Amino acid sequence: MAQGAQHPSVPPLWRRELLDARNPPRITSIHHEYQLENIEQQPNSDEADVIQHSFTLSPNQITEIRKCLPPHLRTCSRLELRTACLWRCRTLALNVDPDEVVQISCIVNGRGKKINKDLQFPLGYYGNAFAFPAAVTKAGVLCKNPLGYAVELVKKAKLEMNAEYISSKFGEVDLGWGYPEYAGPAMAVPLFSFYVKYNNRGEDGVVVPILLPLLAMERLQQELKKLIEGTNNKHETMQRVKITSML
């Protein structure tokens, strides 16, 4: 349409009834992403010592971090690995009380490969098909266990939606003016982290803007450095902690 076409190449479909709730409604799961009580206190963005830093994660760095995982988890997706890594490192950096409940939510796309045959969207469906399931645990358990524990929690939360996460292709959209140089947030914001694609001298990677207090940011940089430089890339035996879910 931006190029002057009279009609869209794919006719839009509304079909909101595809996601209608049961009648009468019936609760089948607990959505942790909406339960904000007992969740760690977020740093105040108005505090003088809060700073922003953008972390870059290249494919080579992701490979190094992957070495921290046990063999059965090394096939996890890059999104799962990045999310689990930043969740654990951020919790360590903030020195969260071991008994505090911490959670991570990541957006999952209901479109794509149809793991759940009941969740199918026709071509042209333009309604919201995203959800953000949450993984929940105590800070002490998250920090004492190796990275693989966090990865398992993230994977389990994603599977609760019964749909495979598929990355956005916005970076490949060409409206006739060439490919976009950048698409993403201008700065870090509290509560959220965005994975922004970047290209550095031909190497694709991801930039993650994060907002934290100064001392916490320094600790976060140290934790990520350990993983990326291989200081901690030997798989450690994971404590046997039963992962339960009420999602």
Residue range 14-42: mean pLDDT, rounded = 63
pLDDT value of position 62: 92
Lowest-confidence pick of 8-17, 115-124, 204-213: 115-124
Q: Could you give the CA distance from residue 130 to residue 108 in angstroms, rounded to a whole number?
A: 6
Tokens of 81: 């690995």
Q: Where does residue 119 fall: left (phi above 0), alpha (psi -120 to 50 degrees), or beta otherwise?
A: beta
pLDDT at 243 (0 to 100): 44
Class of domain 30-168+180-228: alpha beta
Instruction: Tell me the pTM.
Output: 0.67
Q: What is residue 126's predicted lDDT score, i.e. its pLDDT?
A: 79
Least confident of 4-13, 86-95, 168-177: 168-177
**Domain chopping of the chain, boundaries:** 30-168+180-228
pLDDT exceeds 60 at position 202: yes
Query: Backbone phi, then psi, for 141, in 5-degree steps?
Result: -65, -40
More confident residue, 51 or 98: 98
Task: Judge contact between 210 and 51, C-beta under 8 A.
Answer: no
Closest-CA residue to 155 (of 115, 189, 100):
115
Burial annotation 40-79 (CB, 10 A radius, 16+ → b, else e):
eeebeeeeeebbeeebebeeebbebbbebbeeebeebeeb
| pLDDT for the residue numbered 240 | 46
